[in-house]
Amino acid sequence: MTIRVLQLICPSGYYGAERWVNALLSVPAAEGIEQYLAITDEPGACDEVLKRSPLASERQFKVPMSSKFDLRAIWQLVRLIRQLEINIIHTHGYKSDILGLLAAKWAGIKSICTPHGFENATDKKLRAYMWAGGKAFHGFDYVCPLSPDIERTVIEHYKVKPARVRLINNGVDLQEVEQCLAQISAKPSASDQVFTIGYIGQLISRKNLPATLQAFAKLYQQYPHCRLQLLGDGAERQALEQLATELGIAKATEFLGFRDDRLAFLPHFDCFVMTSSLEGIPRCLMEAMAAKVCVTAFNIPGVDQLITHGETGLLAEYGDTAALCQHWLDLLAAPERKEQLAEAGQHYVYQHFSAQAMEQAYSKLYKELVFEPLS
């Protein structure tokens, strides 16, 4: 029997969750598993996840929605499930969890959701989605958090029964990183004196990028031959650009926006930085490590699953911009140490966080659900 799985996401861009879905679909599916992908086609939606999907076009679908939360989409999903003879729906994100769960119950199929993280949001609409999504967790056959910290939140905050929770670690498409790096024959070196710190990700509140700018300002005062490159976009961009001006680092800070070729920038970085307040297991950090870039970050749950201080990267306590700056100064003083950390980080990601390992874990769960259903 072939198990048919429908991945469902409501994309607003091409960020962590969307990249996660395509990482899962980028590796060959286990024997007996057939994958399909659906997105909601709604006002403001982004279909980049379909454009970049490795799946054949006949396995990609759009579910029409006339508004941001059109309940008629549930019926559209049920029709698609029956048309494709789907056995399991696998959802990603608050809205897709709600729509997907209701469609699964109506169609009488199994359901899995993967929480990719939780926002420390103040927006009332987003908080309402989070509340409803948390309630939906209880209806799924399995909730599959992608980090231990998210697992704790699901069990302790949302009160999901541990028997229905299966931790499956985040994974990165190593092949995508390798293909990008193969096109670059050598690490660019515009000047041996320039020390470049890089960040790739959304410019949103939970990424806590003011701390990155503040730490960089301290470095810039002591070592003016440094620069900071920020790849990504988001609601905080204008405020961050203003802060860079106020800190006197505007000339050394580049806001490069969303880039399709983000991975091509990794070899330009002497180190990668992340000062987030909240993460799952951050994909951009894994990509940097896979590309053999030394990583530096604040020590928060999720990040600590990737970086062991002094072994696979360097950690500063949350909010300690002086310590983060000192790490960069230490790397400047000992470039051989930077290379050792980068090499160890790359090895760790390859051993523990590949997309292939993630796919194998999910395929095992899919088969358990269909052939050994929960009572």
- Three-class secondary structure of residue 326 per DSSP: helix
Same domain, 223 and 366: no
Q: What is the gyration radius of the CA atoms in the chain, in angstroms?
A: 21
Q: How many domains would you assign to the chain?
A: 2
31, 228, 307 from 278: Cα distances, Å: 36, 22, 15
Same domain, 300 and 246: yes
Same domain, 46 and 142: yes
The pLDDT of residue 66 is 87
Same domain, 36 and 133: yes
Same domain, 248 and 340: yes
Note the pLDDT tens digit of each residue in 287-324: 999 999 999 999 999 899 999 999 999 999 999 999 99
Nearest CA-CA partner of 239 in 273, 215, 262, 205: 205
- Three-class secondary structure of residue 19 per DSSP: helix
pLDDT by residue for the chain (375 residues), tens digit each?
899 999 999 998 888 889 899 999 999 999 999 999 999 998 877 899 999 999 999 999 999 998 877 889 999 999 999 999 999 999 999 899 999 999 999 999 999 999 988 766 566 766 776 777 789 999 999 999 998 889 999 999 999 999 999 999 888 888 888 887 787 655 555 445 799 999 999 999 999 999 999 999 999 999 999 999 999 999 999 999 999 999 999 999 999 998 888 899 999 999 999 999 988 889 899 999 999 999 999 999 989 999 999 999 999 999 999 999 999 999 999 999 999 999 999 999 998 888 998 999 999 999 999 998 766
Burial tier of 57 (Cβ tally within 10 Å: 0-12, 13-18, 19+): exposed
**Residues 108, 89: Cα–Cα separation, whole Å:** 11
Identify the sign of the CA torsion 299, 171, 206, 249: positive
Give kind and range of the element (H or E) at residue 45. none
Per the structure, the complete domain to which residue 88 belongs is given by: 3-171+354-371
Do residues 199 and 212 make contact, with C-beta atoms less than 8 angstroms apart? Answer: yes
Same domain, 106 and 189: no
Give DSSP secondary structure letters for 23-44.
HHHHSPPPTTEEEEEEEEE-TT
User: For residue 253, what are its two tokens?
Assistant: 């800070």
5, 37, 327 from 84: Cα distances, Å: 10, 11, 53
The arrangement of strands across the sheet holding 33-41 comes to 60-64, 33-41, 3-9, 88-92, 110-113, 142-143
Same domain, 52 and 153: yes
Same domain, 134 and 189: no
User: For residue 132, what are its two tokens?
Assistant: 């409803």
What single letter denotes the amino acid at residue 368? E
**Residues 268, 290: Cα–Cα separation, whole Å:** 14
Same domain, 106 and 143: yes
Q: Hey, which bits of 10-86 come out as E strands?
A: 33-41, 60-64
Same domain, 200 and 263: yes
pTM, rounded to two decimals: 0.77
Nearest CA-CA partner of 212 in 296, 287, 274, 150: 274
Same domain, 67 and 144: yes
CATH number, domain of 115, equals: 3.40.50.2000
β-bridge mates for residue 62, sequence order? 39
The pLDDT of residue 190 is 45
Give kind and range of the element (H or E) at residue 159. none
> Could you tell me which residues come within 8 angstroms of residue 369 by beta carbon, excluding any fewer than 6 positions away?
88, 110, 112, 141, 142
**Residues 89, 110: Cα–Cα separation, whole Å:** 6
Do residues 280 and 116 make contact, with C-beta atoms less than 8 angstroms apart? Answer: yes
**Residues 67, 46: Cα–Cα separation, whole Å:** 14
Half-sphere exposure of 207 (CA within 13 A, CB side): 24
Same domain, 159 and 239: no
